[in-house]
Amino acid sequence: MYVEVILQRRLPRNFPTLTYEVPKGMKVKQGQIIQVPFGKQEVGALVLRTSAEKPKFQTKTVSAVTDVFLPPRQFAFAVWMSTHYKVQPHTTFQFFIPKQVWKDALKGKIRAESETAQEPEFSQKKAIPKALADFLSKFFIHTDSGSTVHTIFEQTRIDREKFYSAIVQRTQHMEPEGQVLFLVPEKFHAEYLSFGLPVFHGTLAETKKATLWHGVAAGKIRALIGTRAALLLPFKKLSCIVLDFAEHESYTEQRSPYYKTQEIAEQLAQQYGCPLISLSSAPNVESWHRSHPSQFTWQEPAAKIPTTIIDMEQERKKGNRSLFSEYLLAEMNKRFIQDEQILLVMNRVGSANALFCTDCNSVFRCATCLMPFGLRAGVLRCDRCRRTAQMPEGCPGCGNVELKALGFGTEKIEAELTQRFAKARILRLDRDTMQGASARRQALSQKKLEAADIIVATQVIHKPLVLKRLTLGAALYPDQLLQFPDFRASERAFQFLTRVRHLISNNGEFIIQSLMPDHEIYQKIALNTAEEFYESEIEARRMLSLPPFQK
């Protein structure tokens, strides 16, 4: 018998696999780790396929076999990934077998934490509301057509511990030996939301990875939380995959193969014939269209966060020169005195501005889209339609010749805040203060976030953090998001604002300050009519043949 293998080390591109002869009496199967001679060395190899046919060229002989192998389903999954993303098998398989597993296998050592199965132990036992249990039962209906994909639209924040333990209970009820995989975007989430479950991510110590790998392969680990790297673990009997915070940017792999987590999670669910449940507070339009999450809206009994839209042009006309509306300032004062936390978001640093008349306080707008013009290098410019106009001589409304561009950058906001809230602990999070990985980690440490009275942030804050004191959130100038000349502009704005609002505690409030207060996106957010937003967006894209309707 002969085997075609890849080596643990990378082989030249035009020569990616090798063939060896299997000595009589030795048993070898697909997916197995074996030892083969290579040059003057003995190296690890993984069996891709076996064949009875003698190749036309000379072959060396397999030196030894190990009892470590990639289970058939996981093997098929790796092959699918290589084909689908058009990469060499080696590139894919290296992610499926951690380095330490190779090393140990060749030494004949298996790392296992315990001999017995680890039943998932949630650190806190929480009662699962009957409504939630009933809701979840919809996802665990056996079908003959393989896996089922569901999207849960999380309108108000779901208690993760309750939700996760309900999923585990439900799975074990259906399949006592079944395994559950909870996927989260980043290591940070995995650690924060583990509730006592084992945690798997790409930067774990190699020995820890190996231990978990074997625990999962043996079926001893019944529930696990991890980043996308955990999808490649050798599950014995995967019974449910939960993809949490499904809209998160981190779900796209940054190195080859550049896989999308949602896509390969679906494929894996298919392999195991198990449900994939994705959970999102702001699903993208494509996945809404595919799975109609409106049927699967779960709401905690708590009330929705009320949303107020403030017309900032009117504010100036009333004589308010501040970057904050009177209403927002009053709310901020109130919350600050009560020792509650305030989050102010901007979607970009720097040069955002709008041109105002200093007398009647009218704002200058593009005649086509009615969006405020931005002023750059003496020229008025509409970001949406790219129309430009010369700086006007004076205000067409009142004839005043003094016009002024007002900026909305985070630095400016921080300066005004320091003045008004001298005693507040202000935390500024933007690209300038978060350069470099360690600054990023520091800025986002839970402790630091919890300690701040006022957080001023750009997009980077949009992580599903739990900030218990956070009761007031405000988007100061989200209009910019709607000004992008891109068909996804309204989708992004909708997701951005929805996710910010999602961070606010249940008794809190959300405020949008805008120069376009009547814009339908703001209105739909304020009225909590997400379904309408998705339906009209899908309709518009259908008419224009935009994704997901491309020909």
Amino acid at 321: R
Which CB, 298 or 484, lies closer to Zn ion? 484
Rg of the chain (C-alpha set): 28
- Rounded to 5 degrees, φ, ψ at 496 are -60, -55
- Residue span binding Zn ion (CB under 5 A) among the ranges 52-60, 247-255, 348-356, 389-397: 389-397
**Please, which residue, 108 or 394, has the CB nearer to Zn ion?**
394
**From the list 150, 387, 412, 463, which residue makes contact with Zn ion (rule: CB under 5 A)?**
387
Piece of 44-52, 184-192, 363-371, 507-515 that binds Zn ion (CB under 5 A): 363-371
CB nearer Zn ion, residue 46 or residue 371: 371
Q: Which is nearer to Zn ion, 244 or 383 (CB)?
A: 383
**Minimum distance from residue 321 beta carbon to Zn ion (Å):** 15
Q: C-beta of 397: minimal distance to Zn ion in Å? A: 4
Per rule CB under 5 A, is residue 397 in the interface with Zn ion?
Answer: yes
Q: Tell me whether residue 218 or residue 385 sits nearer to Zn ion (CB atom).
A: 385
489 binds Zn ion (CB under 5 A): no
Closest to Zn ion by CB, 359 vs 520, is 359
Min dist CB 391 to Zn ion, Å, is: 14
Instruction: State which residue, 351 or 442, has the beta carbon closest to Zn ion.
Output: 351
Residue 245 region, left (φ>0) first, then alpha (ψ -120 to 50), else beta?
Answer: left
Give the shortest CB-124-to-Zn ion separation in angstroms: 53
- Contact region for Zn ion (CB under 5 A) — 66-74, 227-235, 364-372, 480-488? 364-372
Separation between Cα atoms, residue 551 and residue 539, nearest integer Å: 16
In the bound complex, what is the minimum distance in angstroms from residue 284's beta carbon to Zn ion?
A: 25
CB of 396 to Zn ion, least distance (A): 8
The CB-of-394 to Zn ion minimum distance in angstroms stands at 8
Closest separation in Å from C-beta 167 to Zn ion: 47
Sole window of 95-103, 159-167, 289-297, 390-398 interacting with Zn ion (rule: CB under 5 A): 390-398
Judged by CB under 5 A, does residue 112 bind Zn ion?
Answer: no
* Angle, CA 224 vertex, CA 499 and CA 208 arms, to 5°: 115
Cross-sheet strand order for the sheet of 276-280: 199-200, 223-226, 179-183, 238-244, 276-280, 149-154, 297-298
Strands 374-376 and 223-226: what pairing? Answer: unpaired
List the one residue from 360, 401, 451, 527 that touches Zn ion (CB under 5 A).
360
Does 385 sit near Zn ion (CB under 5 A)?
A: yes
User: Minimum distance between the CB of residue 519 and Zn ion, rounded to whole angstroms?
Assistant: 14
Residue with tokens 């299997």: 22
CB of 354 to Zn ion, least distance (A): 13
Task: Please tell me whether residue 6 binds Zn ion under the rule CB under 5 A.
Answer: no
Rounded to 5°, angle at Cα 251 from 166 and 349? 115
Secondary structure (DSSP) of 316-340? HHTT--SSS-HHHHHHHHHHHHTT-
Q: Which of 101, 199, 231, 395 binds Zn ion (CB under 5 A)?
A: 395
Return the residues of window 365-384 that contact Zn ion according to CB under 5 A: 366, 368-369, 382, 384
Q: According to CB under 5 A, which residues from 400 to 419 bind Zn ion?
A: 400
Distance in Å, CB of 484 to Zn ion, minimum: 12
Binders in 318-357 for Zn ion, by CB under 5 A: 357
Q: Would you say 508 and 305 are in contact if contact means Cβ atoms under 8 Å apart? A: yes
Report the C-alpha gap between 156 and 464 in whole angstroms. 12
Which of these ranges, 142-150, 397-405, 426-434, 468-476, lies near Zn ion under the rule CB under 5 A?
A: 397-405
DSSP assignment of 14-47: T---EEEEPPTT----TTEEEEEEETTEEEEEEE
Secondary structure of residue 278 in the 3-state scheme:
strand
Burial level of 292, CB count in 10 A (0-12/13-18/19+)? middle
Our measurement of the distance from residue 72's CA atom to the centroid of its chain's CA atoms, rounded to an integer in Å, reads 29
CB of 227 closer than 8 Å to CB of 202: yes
Q: List the structure tokens of 225.
A: 């939380």
Count of residues that interact with Zn ion, criterion CB under 5 A: 14
Q: Tell me the one-letter amino acid at 468.
A: K
Q: CA-to-CA distance for 305 and 157, rounded, in angstroms?
A: 10
Which residues of this chain interact with Zn ion, rule CB under 5 A?
357, 359-360, 366, 368-369, 382, 384-385, 387, 395, 397-398, 400
